[in-house]
Amino acid sequence: MRTVHVSEYPAIQHRHRDGEIVTVRLRRQEGDLRATCAGCDTVFVYRKPASSAVTHYKSPLLPPVKGNWDTGEDEH
């Protein structure tokens, strides 16, 4: 049995060797969200994506974009 960690929720689509695309739904099992595909003998385990460790800054060259910016520079 192969284990694959995924960050998609609630359903996982994957391709079998014969080209068929199969969808399995994550369900709470053993304290984790997981899905088992008997067709390819794989267990998909959900892991919440981590936030980026890289600080992202607005580009001074692009026009202002409505969004969630913490700097407060656009509120003049």
Cβ neighbour number for residue 43 with a 10 Å cutoff: 16
Per the listing, tokens 């088992």 go with 36
8-62 pLDDT, tens digit each: 888 999 999 999 999 999 999 888 899 999 889 999 999 988 888 888 777 778 7
Token pair in block for residue 53: 């460790």
Top pLDDT among 73 and 42 is at 42
